[in-house]
Structure 1
């Protein structure tokens, strides 16, 4: 395992939608598939509160959490060793636990209510907070997609800057989920298993990640160097954002569906989570997926067409009969490969 102290990722301020920002976003996602996003609309107070809610939830007895076990809609609680993100190399599942909020209506922020434990039930302060955060994450994800459309120079007669956002509509169903994660320390569970989340790529379009200072553990793989790089927690370099109480830059990465769409111009990069060095690790993730019926057909962009002509990405994102798969079916296929029984 290789660790570095410096930040290996580009940091991009997305407060302005213009060509310069779009080009910077495209470069980061086309080279590493990961970057830090600054200039967002989240306050540190909001992020801290979300982590407090998460920690309180995971301290509940296992017998209470398992009552709301994850369902076919990817909503609910995932117990230790139930998810195996690298089933090709790991015999046991990942030693972590999680809770997923899903089946969102992004016009209101409401999610599937049947799988919510009392602490998150509709009418509670926690539920209202979850709604607010999901709407803000959807807005940020949409902003990043608009910048990517600008950077990829999507044909104007096909939708231009709105091409991606038209396929991530707030009023249409998707497999988008918001996930709280808890990775236990070595003293609590499986100290000999250093990998807490096996090497994997994400399934949807974009992934947005909140990390806590001092709880690093995310690593991304650089194939050209054949080594793992630690993704650190970093503070914003903007004194203005710090004065405004904005949260630290957010980790954002490309997932499979968006990589397929672009003939792999955008990289869906292998990553993992390693054993926390000090105490437990908590993280909060927003998996942003296209609307369920969206076909993963290469997007109308000169840059993407040129990649396809070179044979890049050929044959990916397809059904067995050679037709293009839709966003929901692709995610369901990956979930089937990922989940085990757990304990």
Structure 2
């Protein structure tokens, strides 16, 4: 199947796929990752759990409203990702998990809806969170290799030192439901407005026949198709994108690409679900330029140093619709 994105196999970590990853991050900001450790059965279980949660009545879901740390339930039209063109918030709903100990994947967030507290469901959520964190660290290690970060200042572990497994951060696992066009608003195929992500990197699971993600590349919107893994029994390649913090850190070398969710004509009659892992640096990390000879060649426009939490607070304040 034709796709605008590079597929990088990370079944082994070496300088070759580090270079491939960097090339995709510099030129497009998005790529597929194959050779990961998620089975198709695991990912199917996650989507089933997400679907069961969103079937709950609205009153039950709204007992867990989104908080100042971006944890909890977001209702329809509560989030506005493209305030320049939207007159109301996005027609979608979501639930965000946060406050992790990534040594184990333990979710310290409390309270959680009862469905997520059930033993098997909690084990699934926590094993998923741990594996996604480990995968994100592997990707950041590859980027550190390709960026040739000064060994005296952290080298390949430079990003790990700023994404520690037990430090406070706004790293988030998110379940999303985009209701069918016919069930909500037949005149609004845009389900998530055009935006860039806020943190370091984003990892996305999308299902077959539930496409909708579009990227703004080469001055036009391009759809991102579902593609299967080349490994039997493995989940589809995970979509990875560079987010604003990492672009900022690299003085714009790595590209944070505009994207949106727009229902194609083939899917307007059914709901779309996706599962996203938003990786953010630890709250107290100062967003100073990365000590890389490749980055240092660029015009450094960072004039005021701020922390990861300060940066994210500003972005979230502009995202959520007042009055919810």
Fold shared by both chains (TM-score > 0.5)? yes
- Of 133, 136, 144, the residue aligned with 1:138 is 133
| Alpha-carbon shift at residue 259 of structure 1 (Å) | 0.5
Deviations 1:118-175 (A, max 9, x none): 1112x52111110000000000000000000001111111111111111111021111
C-alpha distance in structure 1 between counterparts of 2:74 and 2:296, whole Å: 40
| Alpha-carbon shift at residue 342 of structure 1 (Å) | 6.7
Report the counterpart of residue 320 of structure 2 in structure 1.
Answer: 339
C-alpha distance in structure 2 between counterparts of 1:31 and 1:115, whole Å: 42
Report the counterpart of residue 15 of structure 2 in structure 1.
Answer: 19
Any idea what SS the aligned residue of 1:210 has? strand
Any idea what SS the aligned residue of 2:188 has? coil
Verify: 1:29 aligned to 2:30, yes or no. no
C-alpha distance in structure 1 between counterparts of 2:239 and 2:149, whole Å: 25
Report the counterpart of residue 220 of structure 2 in structure 1.
Answer: 227
- Of 272, 280, 283, the residue aligned with 1:281 is 272
- Of 146, 149, 168, the residue aligned with 1:154 is 149
TM-score (normalised: structure 2): 0.96
Contact 2:40 2:234 in 1 (8 A): yes
Verify: 1:300 aligned to 2:281, yes or no. no
C-alpha distance in structure 1 between counterparts of 2:282 and 2:258, whole Å: 24
| Alpha-carbon shift at residue 186 of structure 1 (Å) | 1.1
Verify: 1:106 aligned to 2:102, yes or no. yes
Contact 2:211 2:263 in 1 (8 A): no
C-alpha distance in structure 1 between counterparts of 2:109 and 2:29, whole Å: 33
Over the aligned positions, Cα root-mean-square deviation in angstroms equals 1.3
C-alpha distance in structure 1 between counterparts of 2:10 and 2:110, whole Å: 36
**How many pairs are equivalent?**
321
Any idea what SS the aligned residue of 2:318 has? helix
C-alpha distance in structure 1 between counterparts of 2:91 and 2:306, whole Å: 31
- Displaced runs of 4 or more, over 3 A: none
C-alpha distance in structure 2 between counterparts of 1:144 and 1:195, whole Å: 30
Contact 1:36 1:252 in 2 (8 A): yes
